[in-house]
């Protein structure tokens, strides 16, 4: 089973984010899964033995049945041999803009069994954040959402797509410092990926040198206590670390229940409303079962190499 699976629970969103990857999965954008279908998908993934189930979108907080799905994911899977706190169940995360995350909703999510929540933060400037999100007031909603998540006792993350401007100006450091003052438990830093809204904007993609600079932030920030714990995904997914885990360690389910390798790769190996998760996962894993040296969405032609740790394991090709 994959270590993590993210589920896009809705096509709907109030925002118009500059880097949105979800637009690459919008074949049926006016119709979401019913509650019954949604819970069926969650149960199938939980019973597959997935360790981390993340709920994304669209804006996942628009679904009123999200708590039901979180509770279901937190129950022991059919393969669990024990009950109680030591049972086999999935840890749950929610990825949100912060829209609708008042204290009551944050507490409701916590009571349903949610472990952590990641809230997007694009800038320390309210005007810049609002511009990148395409909605006035987005910054205030994000900050209030972070504060409410902390009050509710959730593991609270912020998530930033590091643009060239953020990297060159040094504002990425200011965002991290600001996140620390908010009590953020972890800052997740990603790079622009050529998918969805970004597919027609190749000029936004970081150069090799800029990627190296971004990767260096992982070590630099984690060695300095003025920043929160930082996870720089280009570092984690680099050739020297774990590589791209799409289809081997990670998977994605779009809002129509199509089961594929990644949030940034609009490929489906089957639909969970018509097939069992294990059948589709095995089909996917057969094709993509080894982690690759870099992101599939960024450089498909370079995916013949394995990351160094996998080479050291001496696994057969």
- Where does the pLDDT of residue 17 fall: very low under 50, low under 70, confident under 90, or very high at 90 and above? confident
Taking the CA atoms of the chain, what radius of gyration do you get in angstroms? 19
Q: Is the pLDDT of residue 85 over 60?
A: no
Tell me, what's the pLDDT at 313?
41
- Where does the pLDDT of residue 110 fall: very low under 50, low under 70, confident under 90, or very high at 90 and above? very high
Question: Mean pLDDT, to the nearest integer, of 217-233?
Answer: 95
Q: Which residues contact 206 (CB under 8 A, 6 or more apart)?
A: 162, 164, 167, 191, 192, 214
Tell me, what's the pLDDT at 162?
94
The model scores a pTM over 0.85: yes
Fold of domain 4-312: TIM Barrel (3.20.20)
- Where does the pLDDT of residue 83 fall: very low under 50, low under 70, confident under 90, or very high at 90 and above? low
pLDDT, tens digit (0-9, with 9 covering 90-100), for 192-211: 887 777 677 778 888 989 98
pLDDT, tens digit (0-9, with 9 covering 90-100), for 33-52: 999 999 999 999 999 999 99
**Averaged confidence pLDDT in the chain:** 88
Q: Where are the domains of the chain?
A: 4-312
Question: Mean pLDDT, to the nearest integer, of 127-151?
Answer: 97
Question: Mean pLDDT, to the nearest integer, of 233-252?
Answer: 82
Residue among 15, 16, 50, 31 nearest 280 (CA): 50
Tell me, what's the pLDDT at 27?
55
Handedness of CA 233, 13, 96, 165 (dihedral sign): positive
Query: Are 99 and 14 a contacting pair, CB within 8 Å?
Result: yes
pLDDT, tens digit (0-9, with 9 covering 90-100), for 252-309: 999 999 999 998 888 899 999 999 999 999 999 888 877 676 666 665 444 445 455 4
């Amino acid at each position: 089973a994959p270590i993590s699976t993210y589920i896009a629970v809705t096509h709907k969103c109030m925002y118009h984010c500059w880097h949105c990857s979800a637009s690459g999965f919008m074949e049926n954008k006016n119709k979401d899964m019913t509650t019954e279908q949604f819970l069926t998908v969650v149960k199938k993934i939980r019973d597959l033995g997935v360790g981390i189930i993340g709920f994304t979108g669209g804006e996942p907080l628009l679904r009123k049945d999200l708590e039901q799905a979180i509770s279901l994911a937190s129950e022991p899977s059919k393969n669990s041999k024990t009950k109680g706190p030591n049972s086999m169940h999935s840890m749950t995360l929610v990825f949100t803009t912060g829209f609708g995350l008042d204290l009551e909703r944050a507490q409701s999510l916590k009571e349903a069994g949610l472990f952590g929540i990641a809230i997007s933060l694009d800038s320390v400037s309210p005007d810049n954040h609002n511009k990148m999100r395409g909605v006035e007031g987005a910054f205030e909603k994000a900050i209030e959402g972070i504060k409410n998540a902390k009050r509710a006792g959730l593991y609270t993350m912020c998530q930033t797509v590091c643009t060239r401007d953020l990297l060159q100006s040094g504002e990425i450091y200011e965002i991290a410092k600001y996140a620390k003052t908010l009590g953020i438990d972890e800052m997740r830093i990603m790079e622009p990926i050529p998918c969805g809204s970004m597919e027609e904007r190749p000029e936004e993609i970081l150069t090799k040198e800029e990627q190296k600079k971004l990767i260096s932030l992982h070590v630099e920030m984690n060695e300095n206590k003025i920043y929160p714990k930082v996870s720089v995904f280009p570092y984690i997914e680099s050739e020297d670390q774990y590589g791209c885990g799409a289809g081997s360690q990670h998977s994605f389910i779009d809002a129509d229940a199509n089961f594929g390798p990644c949030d940034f790769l609009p490929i489906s190996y089957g639909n969970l409303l018509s097939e069992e998760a294990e059948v589709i996962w095995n089909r996917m894993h057969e094709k993509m079962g080894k982690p690759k040296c870099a992101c599939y969405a960024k450089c498909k032609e370079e995916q013949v190499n394995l990351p160094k740790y996998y080479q050291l394991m001496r696994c057969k090709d």
